[in-house]
Amino acid sequence: MMADIASERTRASPQQGPIAFEQPLSERMRTFLRIEFLYQQLHFHARDLAGFSARAAVTTLLEIATILGRGDVRSEVLKELERHAGLLSSYSRLQDVDLERVQLLIDNVEALRSTLVASGSQFMSSIKKCQFLSMIKHRSSIPGGACMFDLPDYAYWLRLPLAERAGQFDDWTRGLSPVCDAVSEVLWLTRQANEPTEQIATRGLFQYHMERNERVMLVRVLVPQDLGAFPEISAGKHRFTVRFATWEGIDTRPKQVVDDVPFLLALC
C-alpha cells in the first residue's frame, strides 16, 4: 500500500498511464464516486466563472447539493474516515513501513474528520436558504429552462464583476467542501488499499467469485490506453464479471473481444 502512495495525487494528466474503469459494490461507494466526479467537475468550471463555464459550475454545485441532501452522507463519510484511521494505525505496527508517511496520512484523516464534525449537520444551510439557487434549480429541470428570458436575474448575475460572483460562489461551496474533500480522501485511501494484480480475461471474459469474509467495495480494472477495447463490469453480491468489448464507433454496438486480454485488477 505504502509504495508510490502519492502517484495518483501527483499525476499531471488523466491521459497518462493506464485507464482505470471502476465498479462500486455498495450504495455508499456509488454515492461517493458520484460526489467525487461532480466535485472535480465543479473545480474545473470554477477556474473561469465566465459565460457558460459559470453556468456549468452553478449546475454542478446544485447537483452535488441534491446528492448530499439524500440520506446522511456526512455520517457515512465520518464512518469511513474512522475506519481508515484504524487501518492506518494498524499499518504503523508493521515492520518495514514508512512510519513518517503513515503518520502524515493519519494526521490528514484526523484533520478532515475534525473539519467535517465542526461543519455540523446544517452545513448546506447557505444553499438551501438561497432563493436565487432554488429558482435556478427549479427552472433547470426544464430543458433550456435557465435561459435569459426564463431567469433574467440569473442572466444579470452572470454579468456581474468576476470578483463579486467568485466571492458568492466561494460562499456556496464552502459548506460543501468538508464533505467533498473527505469523500475524495476516502476514495484515494480505498484505491491505495491494494496493489493491482495481473489477470487474463479468457476470450475477453473474466469472472471472480468473492469469499464470504472478503470485503470488497470497489473493483478497479486498469487497461492500457492503446488496448483498443474497454471493460464492461457487472457485479452481484458474491461475484463480478468483466467482459471486454471493442469500440466499433458511435453507430455500431460494441462487440465482445474474442482473444485473451491481459489487464490489471485491484479489489479495494
CATH of the domain at 225: 2.60.440.10
Q: Which helix (H) or strand (E) holds 266?
A: strand 261-267
Q: Which of 142, 171, 192 is the last residue of a domain?
A: 192
Q: Strand 218-223 vs strand 261-267: parallel, antiparallel, or unpaired?
A: antiparallel
Instruction: Please state at what angle helix 131-140 crosses helix 51-68, rounded to 10 degrees.
Output: 90
The chain-wide mean pLDDT, for the chain, equals 89
pLDDT digits (tens, 9 = 90+) for 104-138: 999 999 999 999 999 888 888 889 899 999 999 99
Q: Same domain for 59 and 140? A: yes
Q: Which of 128, 160, 192 is the last residue of a domain?
A: 192
Decide which of 214 and 176 is more confident. Answer: 176
Q: Which of 153, 169, 192 is the last residue of a domain?
A: 192
Domain count for the chain, please give it. Answer: 2
Are 265 and 194 in contact by the 8 Å Cβ rule? The answer is no
pLDDT digits (tens, 9 = 90+) for 14-45: 456 899 999 999 999 999 999 999 999 999 99
Task: Give yes or no for residue 10 having a pLDDT over 70.
Answer: no
Which three-class secondary structure state does DSSP give residue 234?
A: strand
177 CB-side CA count, 13 A: 9
Provide the residue range defining the domain that includes 131: 26-192
Q: What is the pLDDT of residue 187?
A: 97
